Structure 1
Amino acid sequence: MEPLDETGCQTPEKPMLCINNCGFFGRATTMNMCSKCYKDMLLKQEQAKITASSVESIVNGSSSSNGEEVVKRIATEVQVGTMEVKPVAAQPSEDSSSSEALEVKAKTGPSRCATCRKRVGLTGFSCKCGNVFCAMHRYSDKHDCPFDYRAVGQDAIAKANPVIKAEKLDKI
Structure 2
Amino acid sequence: MTFCVKAEKTILCSRGCGFHGTPNNNNLCSLCYKAFLIEEEEAKKNVTVATLSGGMSSLTLDDDSGKTEDVDSTIMKIKQRCMICKKKVGLIGFSCRCEGGMFCRVHRYPEEHACTFDFRSIGRVNLAKENRLCKVDKLENRI
TM-score when scaled to structure 1? 0.42
Question: With CA pairs under 8 Å and 6+ residues apart, which has the higher RCO, 1 or 2?
Answer: 2
Higher helix share: 1
